[in-house]
Amino acid sequence: MLTKAIVRAPGANYAEALTTMDLGAPNYERALRQHVAYCWALERSGLRLTRLEPDERFPDATFVEDTALVTNREAILARPGAASRLGEVESISTVLYRVFHELHSIREPATLDAGDVCETEQEGKNHFFIGISQRTNEEGAQQLAKWLVSYGFTSAFVDIRGVKNILHLKSGLAYLGDNRLVVIDSLADRNEFRRHDLVHVNAGEEYAANCVRLNDYVLVAAGYPNFEAQLRKLGYQTISLEMSEFQKKDGGLSCLSLRF
Ligand code: CIR
Q: Which atom of ligand 1 is the closest one to the Cα of 210? A: 11
Q: Which atom of ligand 1 is the closest one to the Cα of 171? A: 11
Q: Based on the number of CB atoms within 10 Å of its own CB, is 1 exposed (0-12), middle (13-18) or buried (19 or more)?
A: exposed
Tens of pLDDT along the chain (260 residues) come to 999 999 999 999 999 999 999 999 999 999 999 999 999 999 999 999 999 999 999 999 999 999 999 999 999 999 999 999 999 999 999 999 999 988 999 999 999 999 999 999 998 899 999 999 999 999 999 999 999 999 999 999 999 999 999 999 999 999 999 999 999 999 999 999 999 999 999 999 999 999 999 999 999 999 999 999 999 999 999 999 999 999 999 999 999 999 99
Q: Cis peptide leading into 109, omega within 30 of 0?
A: yes
Instruction: Write out 80-118 in H/E/C secondary structure.
Output: CCCHHHCCHHHHHHHHHHCCCCCEEECCCCCCECHHHEE
Q: Is 168 in the pocket of ligand 1 (CB under 6 A)?
A: yes
Task: Please identify every residue annotated as catalytic.
Answer: 168, 255
Cα gap 169→167, rounded to integer Å: 7
| CA-nearest residue, atom 2 of ligand 1 | 18
Q: Is 55 in the pocket of ligand 1 (CB under 6 A)?
A: no
- pLDDT of 9 reads 98
- pLDDT of 123 reads 86
Kindly list the distances between the CA atom of residue 202 and the CA atoms of 51, 53, 151, 175, 188, in Å, as whole numbers in the listed order. Answer: 34, 37, 36, 17, 12
Q: Which helix (H) or strand (E) holds 38?
A: helix 28-44
Q: Is 59 in the pocket of ligand 1 (CB under 6 A)?
A: no
Rounded (10°) CA dihedral 111, 149, 117, 76: -60
Kindly list the distances between the CA atom of residue 153 and the CA atoms of 24, 125, 181, 237, in Å, as whole numbers in the listed order. Answer: 41, 7, 18, 29
- pLDDT of 124 reads 87
Tell me which residue of 181, 219, 224, 220 sits closest to 203, measured CA to CA. 224
Q: Is 11 in the pocket of ligand 1 (CB under 6 A)?
A: no
Pocket test for ligand 1, best of 63, 171, 211 (most atoms within 8 A of CB): 63
**Residues linked to residue 68 through DSSP beta bridges, in sequence order:** 77
- Centroid of ligand 1 to alpha carbon of 255 (angstroms): 7
Q: Which atom of ligand 1 is the closest one to the Cα of 168? A: 11
Q: Which helix (H) or strand (E) holds 37?
A: helix 28-44
* pTM listed for this prediction: 0.97
Cα gap 135→156, rounded to integer Å: 17
Question: How many angstroms separate the first and last alpha carbons of the chain?
Answer: 8
Cα gap 144→110, rounded to integer Å: 10
Q: Is 18 in the pocket of ligand 1 (CB under 6 A)?
A: yes
**In sequence order, what are the residues at sequence separation of 6 or more whose Cβ sits closer than 8 angstroms to the Cβ of residue 110?**
79, 137, 139, 140, 142, 143
